[in-house]
A and B are shown apart, each in its own frame.
Chain A
Amino acid sequence: MTTEQNTEQNTHFGFKTVAEHEKAKKVAEVFHSVATKYDLMNDVMSAGMHRGWKRFTVEVSGVKAGDKVLDIAGGSGDLSKLFAGKVGSQGQVILTDINASMLSVGRDRMIDAGLNVPTLQCDAEKLPFPDNHFDCVIVAFGLRNMTHKDRALAEMQRVLKVGGRLLVLEFSKIWQPLSKIYDAYSFKLLPIMGKILAKDSESYQYLAESIRMHPDQETLKQMMIEAGLGKVDYYNLSAGAVALHKGYKL
């Protein structure tokens, strides 16, 4: 049994413990609040590095022309845009998010870029797609906010075709010697930047806390294996501040 199953009634929201049914609502409030400034904050917080992490994700996905790709918690659509270029007119990318505010930002960006990317508001724990449907499923900086990560991973595995890949790009455990500097940055500087740029320090306090509560590289790898994925491996990016996990449906 996983930790999440043990604590059936409660879960974590950053460092706080909340009832399971409240987490989704609270996460939704965070993203409603930051949606319009999301891209700007990403650029400022990561010094633009998030663009490199996302490009790397697309490059190691092995996605080719004609493939079907599902972008979960895709928000403002950075990855959908990159994947749309890879799959071409014969393929398909579907952008999904549980949060309507984030999804509308993403949908507008797809339209502005002239891309035919359907957008769909849905819960990653109950994906409205048939079994064995996608060549690649990607979740970038979204798994951390899901209430039942194990259920979400199992759903992602379900909708993958045999031989399909699940890619999870997420904050992770940084290289130990850098942890003190990283903590200072996350808990002191990040909320201040959030206050100045997005007029919302609490959401960025949550971001820092949720990163610390997220499983480390090896734990997430194990969770993916438990969800039925094989040949699971990961890449540490920026000294492990972010990790990209890749697993296959065998």
Chain B
Amino acid sequence: MLKPLITHFLQHLTTQNSWAKAHLTPFAGRTIAFDFAIIKTNLIVLEDGSLALGGETMPPDATVYATPSLMLRMLAKDDAAKMQFKITGDTHLATEIAKILQNIRWDIADDLSKVVGDIPATKLMELGQKTADQIKETSTNLAGMLSEYWQEEQPMIAKKRLVEQFNTDVDVLRNDVARLEKRLAKLTKEMMF
């Protein structure tokens, strides 16, 4: 029953974000696949401008590939991560749909208000937002503290500066080896004559 539930949720989202329907309608009947290594899913744009899960056999018109780490960066709102998505097929379709999906927002307060009423829904949302902010702040502090500890006190992870230096050294070494290889080849050729 997962397919009907996910489709129901997608339709609910497009109904809440009615602006998206006008942008999606020109792509009606087209399918886009999202391949995130551990999760693969196909979405189809319907004739009414809403989204649904794609069927079992239809090859997608476009595919967006991303690694799980890239997805985590997207969740952390790292805009540079967007540039690293790999797209095959109809790139116009893929970029437009990805853009729309990024701007679609789930209005949880609106849904909650239908169950518990407007005021409790607003209060619950404020509480949820506060908790989420607190968790985010605590996680960031903890991550910062641990990375400092593992870099300075108990070196387990390298510092960014050292990694960059290492990468530069490797590049220099690779160029030196290439030059040496060419020189050796030249000397070998001269000795043969």
Q: Which residues of A contact B (CB under 8 A)?
A: 49, 52-53, 55-56, 59-64, 135, 163, 165, 217, 221, 231, 233-238, 246, 248
- CB pair B48 A63 closer than 8 Å: yes
A214 to chain B, nearest CB (A): 17
What 8 A-B pairs have minimum CB-CB distances, sorted nearest first? A62-B47, A233-B55, A62-B46, A64-B48, A56-B4, A233-B58, A60-B52, A52-B4
B60 to chain A, nearest CB (A): 11
Taking CB as reference atom, which chain B residue is nearest A164? B47
Is B122 part of the binding interface, using a Cβ–Cβ cutoff of 8 Å? no
Q: What is the CA–CA distance of A60 and B55 in the complex, to the nearest angstrom?
A: 10
Is B79 part of the binding interface, using a Cβ–Cβ cutoff of 8 Å? no
Residues of A near B56 (CB, < 8 A) are 217, 233-236
A-B contact pairs, 7 of them (CB 8 A): A60-B7, A61-B46, A62-B28, A62-B48, A163-B47, A217-B56, A235-B53
- CB pair A237 B55 closer than 8 Å: no
Q: What is the CA–CA distance of A60 and B10 in the complex, to the nearest angstrom?
A: 11
Q: What is the CA–CA distance of A163 and B46 in the complex, to the nearest angstrom?
A: 12
B9 to chain A, nearest CB (A): 10
- CB pair A52 B57 closer than 8 Å: no
Task: Give the B interface residue count (CB, 8 A).
Answer: 21
Residues of A near B28 (CB, < 8 A) are 62
Is B11 part of the binding interface, using a Cβ–Cβ cutoff of 8 Å? yes
Residue from A165, A237, A246 within 8 A of B3 (CB atoms)? A237
Q: What is the CA–CA distance of A63 and B50 in the complex, to the nearest angstrom?
A: 10
Contact flags (1/0) for B41-73 with A, using CB distance below 8 Å? 000101111101111111000000000000000
Residue from A64, A217, A231, A234 within 8 A of B47 (CB atoms)? A64
Is B115 part of the binding interface, using a Cβ–Cβ cutoff of 8 Å? no
Taking CB as reference atom, which chain A residue is nearest B48? A64
Is B29 part of the binding interface, using a Cβ–Cβ cutoff of 8 Å? yes
Q: Work out how many contacts link A and B, with CB atoms closer than 8 A.
A: 57
- CB pair A248 B29 closer than 8 Å: yes
Residues of A near B57 (CB, < 8 A) are 221, 233-234
Is B82 part of the binding interface, using a Cβ–Cβ cutoff of 8 Å? no
- CB pair A56 B47 closer than 8 Å: no
- CB pair A49 B1 closer than 8 Å: yes
Please name 20 further chain A to chain B contacts, defined as beta carbons within 8 Å, in addition to the given A59-B8, A60-B7, sorted by A numbering.
Answer: A55-B8, A56-B3, A56-B4, A59-B4, A59-B11, A59-B52, A62-B50, A63-B48, A135-B47, A217-B56, A231-B29, A233-B54, A233-B55, A233-B57, A235-B53, A235-B55, A237-B1, A237-B3, A237-B4, A246-B55
- CB pair A56 B55 closer than 8 Å: no
Residues of A near B54 (CB, < 8 A) are 233
Residues of A near B44 (CB, < 8 A) are 60
Residues of A near B49 (CB, < 8 A) are 64
Residues of B near A64 (CB, < 8 A) are 47-49
- CB pair B3 A234 closer than 8 Å: no
A166 to chain B, nearest CB (A): 13
Residues of A near B47 (CB, < 8 A) are 62-64, 135, 163, 165
Q: What is the CA–CA distance of A42 and B96 in the complex, to the nearest angstrom?
A: 42
B62 to chain A, nearest CB (A): 15
Residues of B near A49 (CB, < 8 A) are 1
B5 to chain A, nearest CB (A): 8
B93 to chain A, nearest CB (A): 15
- CB pair B1 A234 closer than 8 Å: no
Taking CB as reference atom, which chain B residue is nearest A60? B52
- CB pair B1 A59 closer than 8 Å: no
Q: What is the CA–CA distance of A52 and B53 in the complex, to the nearest angstrom?
A: 15
Q: What is the CA–CA distance of A171 and B44 in the complex, to the nearest angstrom?
A: 23
Taking CB as reference atom, which chain B residue is nearest A236? B56
Residues of B near A53 (CB, < 8 A) are 4
Taking CB as reference atom, which chain A residue is nearest B11? A59
B179 to chain A, nearest CB (A): 57
Q: What is the CA–CA distance of A165 and B47 in the complex, to the nearest angstrom?
A: 10
Q: What is the CA–CA distance of A237 and B57 in the complex, to the nearest angstrom?
A: 14
Q: Which of A63, A64, A135, A248 has the most CB of B within 10 A?
A: A64
